[in-house]
Structure 1
């Protein structure tokens, strides 16, 4: 063997050693020493002949110690006990910033049985992401096998079937790219396995957003500073920004969503806030267009200084829009009169519950220019 070949092999040896030491699968011990939890809130036991972790109340959680997860496959068995939810968190930096997949335990077999929703600034974005819920069957008195494949911006979720995903997420919307794992909600967990970097050829790049091809969406807006509204006062024109007020640009995210939760968080200390959005629509002719508007939670729309539309989308109240109080382009529609030339559209948006934002789309894109 030549000296050059020997040196080459010596260089390869540390890499080979690291490859041998890197685990292909981690069987996570369901023992108290491996988890953070409230004393009395979690029980470690043997259940149906396997080691298990039992979360005892709806409000309790268990956070895995000393594991930083970025990409890979996570599998576990779960028997739900909670009457409402049982959740799994990944890329968890804190209770306020994480990715989350959960079961609505009373909705097995229904269209909203499972949901993906990140936490941004402590706000669960379930009401802004109705497209990330799905139907699946799961049992309340037996093990249900759950598998998540997470790769960069994408995720696939399997429940009681490792071939056909029940939920496909083309773009994970959380602010985190790595972090810990956790569970909450009453449930029994067993057979937790983490396979780092094993992503089953799932692309790490975000999937396409077909609405990017649709020019009718209003995507470019100017944004004011939010204000906290007085108690028992619904709306006042006095809250409109002054002529010399500062504005900043904001662009729509996926599906044309102006995501105010990502920008401002939710309701701090349960205080209702209002922010103003404005944009310009240039029309070469006078015309009336129909606007489809998704919104959460309350909106006041003006065109050229005149009231055009006002509405509320308040979850569990009579003003709730379909689907189930979530922000959707199907929430509402109204007529928007446009003059020839520039038209200033302003929307005041109030936060009442969880996430807030808007999606706006015109019925036709004819003789129009947006945002100029």
Structure 2
């Protein structure tokens, strides 16, 4: 092979290698972008509502989905604080078009106790994930009124993990005190950014853009399941949700 032929072959190989690296660097990015699902939550369309009623509202300058208790259930609800076995009364709005196993969920939530709510109401609000049905799911939620309480023990119970139906908060607290809940600074009624990162049997909760997680769970009780994503709140909560993304 002559000098010119060798140079031509070298140029061809360099071009092929460059093209290969270009494809390797760009294709995954396009795929990742295509996998982002956005739910503005400016409409109640596409929601499967359980034990609740929904409406669109403007709350603190932001258009949102509001979750409130069904009128016929008022007076029956006990809230997550109750240890009395009762039928599930958690309010859920399942995103019908969602599909989730591993990844990142982000949403803006705002919760505060309803007027006339029991004294142990805390504004319980959060996001359920890997939802199998209305009684089988994983969930991170927050207790906004605990975040700045004068009682340090209450502060330590600001963020919570639960797994329905077998692992309510009180079982987890009794069997593993402090392992499935933690402190995080919260303001009742304020818009709060939640980010949930799930990989296999591990989930991490980040609050308000913090670099470090507020709560880490290394043994999700339902295992490595697949399901949908849902808005979650207790019936004693005035609950608002906005701008949810899944990726």
**Normalized against structure 2, the TM-score is what?**
0.64
How far is the alpha carbon of 1:135 from its aligned partner? 0.6
How far is the alpha carbon of 1:113 from its aligned partner? 1.0
CA RMSD across the alignment: 3.0
Number of equivalenced pairs:
184
* Residue in structure 2 matched with residue 114 of structure 1 by the alignment: 159
Contact 2:40-2:242 at 8 Å conserved across structures: no
Q: For the pair shown, which has the larger CA radius of gyration, 1 or 2?
A: 1
* Residue in structure 1 matched with residue 117 of structure 2 by the alignment: none
SS at match of 1:106: helix
* Residue in structure 1 matched with residue 126 of structure 2 by the alignment: 87
1:103 and 2:142 are equivalent in the alignment: yes
**Comparing 163-172 and 46-55, the one that deviates more:** 46-55
Q: Counterparts of 1:34-53 in structure 2 under 5 Å?
A: 34-37=46-49, 41-53=53-65
How far is the alpha carbon of 1:61 from its aligned partner? 2.4
How far is the alpha carbon of 1:147 from its aligned partner? 0.9
Change (3 A) 1:122 1:52: same
Aligned mates of 1:40, 1:67 — CA distance in 2: 19
1:126 aligned to 152, 166, 172, which one? 172
Residues 113-163 of structure 1, C-alpha deviation per residue, up to 9 Å, x if partnerless? Answer: 111121245866534343111011111132111111111111211112331
2:215 aligned to 162, 167, 190, which one? 167
Aligned mates of 2:207, 2:108 — CA distance in 1: 10
**Normalized against structure 1, the TM-score is what?**
0.44
Q: Counterparts of 1:22-41 in structure 2 under 5 Å?
A: 23-30=34-41, 31-37=43-49, 41=53
Aligned mates of 1:144, 1:41 — CA distance in 2: 22
* Residue in structure 2 matched with residue 68 of structure 1 by the alignment: 99
* Residue in structure 2 matched with residue 145 of structure 1 by the alignment: 193
**Comparing 156-165 and 41-50, the one that deviates more:** 41-50
SS at match of 2:63: strand
* Residue in structure 1 matched with residue 76 of structure 2 by the alignment: none
Residues 238-281 of structure 1, C-alpha deviation per residue, up to 9 Å, x if partnerless? Answer: xxxxxxxxxxxxxxxxxxxxxxxxxxxxxxxxxxxxxxxxxxxx
**Comparing 171-180 and 141-150, the one that deviates more:** 171-180
Aligned mates of 1:56, 1:156 — CA distance in 2: 27
Contact 2:201-2:223 at 8 Å conserved across structures: no
Change (3 A) 1:129 1:118: farther
Identify unmatched segments of 5+ residues in structure 1. Answer: 196-372
Aligned mates of 2:28, 2:144 — CA distance in 1: 45
Aligned mates of 1:99, 1:40 — CA distance in 2: 19
Aligned mates of 2:229, 2:52 — CA distance in 1: 20
Aligned mates of 1:20, 1:88 — CA distance in 2: 25
* Residue in structure 2 matched with residue 289 of structure 1 by the alignment: none
Aligned mates of 1:158, 1:39 — CA distance in 2: 27
**Comparing 110-119 and 122-131, the one that deviates more:** 122-131
> Would you tell me which structure has more strand in proportion to its own residues?
1
* Residue in structure 2 matched with residue 259 of structure 1 by the alignment: none
How far is the alpha carbon of 1:17 from its aligned partner? 11
* Residue in structure 1 matched with residue 184 of structure 2 by the alignment: 136
Residues 161-198 of structure 1, C-alpha deviation per residue, up to 9 Å, x if partnerless? Answer: 33121111222222451111112223111121111xxx
